Structure 1
Amino acid sequence: MAQYQRVEYRIGKDGKIKETVLNGSGESCTETTSDIESALGEIESQELLPEYYEGEENLVTDETQFLQQGERE
């Protein structure tokens, strides 16, 4: 069953449109709005909310490298 998502649009006095996806998580946020975004035109900027990253495992790796000098004869 598909999850219900609400998309909110705010149009500023300068004509810029701000789009916010509510009740969405992961890539479904961007998939939900991709068609209308392409119809509206060029996207100036995109800010992903924390919900976009829900459910993803964030792997953090820490790598340390040691160099040893060989013994000189």
Structure 2
Amino acid sequence: MGSVYRATDLTDNSPVALKIQHRGAEHLEKRLGREARLLAGLRHPGIVRYVAHGVTGERQRYLALEWL
């Protein structure tokens, strides 16, 4: 699906896990979008917190989550 990196949320300088979809994995776009929508609506101490999702300048989809 993609790679996960430790990154920094520029709005508050907090660490986040950044999932970036691999090039050529366009068939998984709906899956990443669905994961983002589901996580955005969940609040539970046992589930990582959704931060953001979108498309990079290089047209790769990403999902940012709480860094544990």
TM-score for both structures, normalised by structure 1: 0.37
The structure whose Rg is larger is 1
TM-score for both structures, normalised by structure 2: 0.39
Q: Greater share of strand residues, 1 or 2? A: 2
Relative contact order: is structure 1 or structure 2 higher (C-alpha 8 Å, sep ≥ 6)? 2
